[in-house]
Amino acid sequence: MGLIFALAGGVGAARLLRGLVQVIPPEDLVIVGNTGDDFEVYGLHISPDLDIVMYTLAGIVDEAKGWGVSGDTFNCLDMLGKLGFETWFKLGDRDLAIHIVRTKILEEGMTLSQATAELCKMLGIKARLVPMSNDPVRTKIVSGKLRLEFQEYFVKRGTKDEVTDVLFEGAEKAKPAPGILEAIKEAERVVICPSNPILSIAPILSISMIRDQLRNTDAYVIGVSPIVGGKAIKGPADRIMTSMGLEASAYGVAKYYEDFLDHLVIDKADEHQKDRIKELGVKVTITDTRMKSLEDSIRLARVVMKAQ
Ligand code: FO1
């Protein structure tokens, strides 16, 4: 089997990827992770989407939340709160260890790619996880006259603001991390994970060389819709698609990726949208796309690998 290249955001992506590594040799999987959500707190570099994928593939993720480390404690955060620091971003004690190691590697002059590869090795992950870029790209949320940092919008304010625009600061200058363009070219299949198209996949696509390579690759490009029955499986994707003038539906997802998508896996609840999606020149597979258990993830990963 050839190389499989996946574009990933956070929780939805990680759930599909944990199935994919059971269906294909994990060494054949290259995952590009969104780093538009990255930020610095207490002097540490946090890469939430890379962490979610790493913790899930390492089998240590907090299953209920989908992020953070299972069974983590929050003693350091409690103390930071007592010392007068802001503590709205819930960093657990074990989670902090990862951010400390990443920051140390970066301070030694290595790149985010190298830090991610080191952390994956330490956690025993065999798939190759790569940040979208080693250059900083930061997602900014515009809500009318307000302009918010991504985590301020997502975690601190709980996604309550209406999103009128999304900016990817630094994207024009950012280069894809080493290996990404080659992997897209070589891949047999490119998988667009069921992540928020605007907040998680668009930051990756905002690096124009990545988007161009996806348009030009011979690989079969297959996506899984994160929208089921007009609602996001998790998070604010449906509300954001609507407020940005897009249709919050499986069709809306196909339309958003139309320039490079060959095939979209949609949920049974969206069967009625099949013909409209096909009119875009995108093939459709209908299945149950919800992933509550590892078995669900494996079953969906098999569908993604077989669809043609
Ligand atoms: N998400 C939350 O909703 N609240 C948190 O306090 C939070 C902390 C956190 C810590 C480390 C980490 O790697 C991720 C964390 N996330 C938290 C998840 C994350 O911020 C978002 O899910 C992504 O940025 C969007 O994919």
Q: Whose CA is nearest to atom 4 of ligand 1?
A: 155
Q: How confident is the model at residue 234 (pLDDT cuts 50, 70, 90)?
A: confident
pLDDT at residue 1 above 80? no
Separation of 151 CA from ligand 1 center, angstroms?
8
Separation of 275 CA from ligand 1 center, angstroms?
37
Ligand 1 neighbourhood includes 33 CB (under 6 angstroms): no
Separation of 109 CA from ligand 1 center, angstroms?
26
- pLDDT tens for 149-175 read 999 999 999 999 999 999 999 999 999
pLDDT at residue 79 above 90? yes
Q: How confident is the model at residue 216 (pLDDT cuts 50, 70, 90)?
A: very high
Q: Whose CA is nearest to atom 22 of ligand 1?
A: 10
**Angle between helices 112-122 and 48-57 in degrees, nearest 10:** 20
Separation of 10 CA from ligand 1 center, angstroms?
9
Share of the chain above pLDDT 70, in %: 100
Mean pLDDT of all residues in 201-210: 98
Classify the C-alpha dihedral 183-199-137-167 as positive or negative: positive
- 41 closest CA partner among 82, 84, 91, 104: 91
- DSSP, collapsed to helix, strand or coil, labels residue 60 as coil
- pLDDT tens for 267-276 read 999 999 999 9
- pLDDT tens for 15-63 read 999 999 999 999 999 999 999 999 999 999 999 999 999 999 999 999 9
Which domains, ranges and CATH numbers included, belong to the chain?
Answer: 4-37+49-58+127-138+170-306 (3.40.50.10680)
Which of 95, 155, 204 best tests ligand 1's pocket when mutated (most atoms within 8 Å of CB)?
Answer: 155
Ligand 1 neighbourhood includes 60 CB (under 6 angstroms): no
Ligand 1 neighbourhood includes 90 CB (under 6 angstroms): yes
Separation of 85 CA from ligand 1 center, angstroms?
18
Ligand 1 neighbourhood includes 74 CB (under 6 angstroms): no
pLDDT for residue 182: 97
Q: Whose CA is nearest to atom 13 of ligand 1?
A: 48
pLDDT at residue 233 above 90? no
The beta strand positions in the chain, using DSSP E, are 4-8, 29-33, 39-41, 44-46, 128-131, 138-143, 146-149, 165-169, 189-192, 220-224, 227-228, 231-232, 263-267, 283-287
Ligand 1 neighbourhood includes 95 CB (under 6 angstroms): yes
First to last CA, the chain: 15
pLDDT at residue 81 above 90? yes
- CA distances, 46 to each of 12, 25, 138, 194, 298 (Å): 19, 29, 12, 22, 29
Share of the chain above pLDDT 90, in %: 98
Mean pLDDT of all residues in 112-116: 98
Atom of ligand 1 nearest to the CA of 95: 11
Predicted TM-score (pTM) of the model is: 0.97
